[in-house]
Structure 1
Amino acid sequence: MTYDYDRLLRSLKGRGFLPQLLRTGAEAREAALTIIGGRSVGFGGSATVQQLGLYEALSARGNEVFWHWKEPPQKRIETERRAMQAEAFLTSSNAVLMDGRLVNIDGTGNRVAALLFGPPLAVVVLGRNKIVDGTVEDALARIRRECCPGNARRLGLDTPCARTGRCADCRTRARMCNAVTVHEYPTRVVEAFHVLLVDEPLGL
């Protein structure tokens, strides 16, 4: 499959995002480290960010980091709240549309909340597998088909999608599709919203 990156970059810029196109995950990691600099960093749950080793890289060089995945269960909510008060927020999105909109589904809400009303600097890293040439509904279908079942299994959640690999629009406490956001444009709270597009598949 070929991707019209020029069109996507134009769409993102037109919506007020700060996009870059990187060839590899290694390039994206270096770009994220450069953008973040010495700031404190909150993390949203992200297989992409984990795959790139950004938590380890930032911790090793002395950045103050907040990621609930690295904490015991009793400290996770506190860490999620501290992540929202950091100087930068680092995560991925579930999908990006060719018109430049970012689409996310969240279970706890910390990731989308931070992108909407969190740190003044946001950095979102996206592999090419997250690109959807279609509508918001197409993006949501992709997320429910490819992201949520895989994430539910990875997190050990007791949901129908974890067992069958298919969304059942369940009504369980463990459900991870609790909030849907569509970023049309960065909110006024987020002063610089970087989108790092990577010409490799990353995450789910």
Structure 2
Amino acid sequence: MDKRIEKTVRNLKRHNMSGYYIENKDNLLSLLKELIPPGATVGCGDSVTLEEAGVFDFIRQENYHFLDKFKPGLSKEEKRQIYLQNFAADTFLTGVNAITTDGRLFNIDGNGSRVAPMLYGPNQVIVVAGINKLTDTLEDAITRARQTAAPLDARRLGKSTPCTSLNRCIDCSHKERICNDFVLISGQFAANRIKVILINEELGY
């Protein structure tokens, strides 16, 4: 195991979070099957990492009750109801913008529907991340989220914010700005409620 990954896993444990290491995304689905019991209600946040790893299709095909926010034709209110149901989910699956090697998670969110269930509600939160999300300091984590992840995500979502053409954040006041919630998770009261799976590949952004 890479020394940075080993350090991160150790520090996550210090902060009452579990850290797992797998060599590649091919091992991810079998680990998720171990961590999520059959019949569980599973919610999710937007995540290119989870999409690239085939996690959404896996949850749909297995014996889970998936709160599927990606169903075609959902109205704005129907999506909102799914977001609220996520708080009562057995498991909430998500990616992350950055993980510091001292064991903290940093995210930027647009409307809070991804970060809110990470903070409170679901019995279990499973965070999946490639090694490209590792940073050595909190300052690096914030820079990574703002200058790398946010512009790419805004472009993916079809926003017309300045970052989509400039390829960098200028802390705009655009009406479609997605950098609204800056959330740092430094620990948990409930031991191992948050489980972080680190994959020795570059995934998502």
Query: Which ranges of 4 or more aligned residues in structure 1 deviate by more than 6 Å?
Result: none
For residue 15 of structure 1, what is the amino acid of its counterpart?
Answer: H
Alignment match, 2:135: 132
Equivalent residue for 1:94?
A: 97
Task: Name the counterpart of 2:67.
Answer: 66
2:147 and 2:169 in contact (8 A); partners too: yes
1:163-174 superposed matches below 5 A: 163-174=165-176
Partner of 2:125: 122
The answer (yes or no) to whether the contact 1:12–1:19 under 8 Å persists in 2 is yes
Partner letter of residue 196 of structure 1?
Answer: I
Q: Secondary structure at 1:122's aligned position in 2? A: strand
User: Which structure has the highest helix share of the two?
Assistant: 1
- Aligned partner of 1:27 in structure 2 is 27
> CA 1:60/1:94 → structure 2, altered by over 3 Å: closer, same or farther?
same
CA–CA separation in structure 2 for the residues paired with 1:113 and 1:78: 14
TM-superposed deviation, 1:191:
5.9
**Counterpart in 2 of 1:5?**
5
Structure 1 residue 73: Cα displacement: 4.3
AA aligned to 1:24 is N
Q: CA deviation at 1:138?
A: 1.5
Q: After superposition, what is the alpha-carbon deviation per residue over 1:114-143, rounded to whole angstroms, capped at 9, x for unaligned?
A: 000120111000100000012x22211111
Written as runs of structure 1 = structure 2, the 5 A alignment for 1:42-57 is: 42-57=43-58
Counterpart AA for 1:192: R
Distance 1:3 1:165 in 2: 31
TM-score normalised to the size of structure 1? 0.92
CA distance 1:146–1:73, change in 2 (3 Å): farther
Give the superposition deviation at 1:105: 0.6
Superposed CA offset, 1:33-56 (max 9, x none): 321122110001111111111111
**Aligned residue among 171, 179, 188 for 2:181:** 179
Q: How does the TM-score come out when normalised to structure 2?
A: 0.92
Question: What is the SS of the residue equivalent to 1:70?
Answer: coil
2: distance between equivalents of 1:49 and 1:130?
14
Structure 1: stretches of 5+ with no match in the other structure: none
Q: Deviations over 1:12-68 (max 9, x none)?
A: 111111111000011122212321122110001111111111111111123111132
With over 3 angstroms needed to count, the CA separation of the structure-2 counterparts of 1:69 and 1:171, relative to structure 1, is farther
* Aligned-residue identity in percent: 32
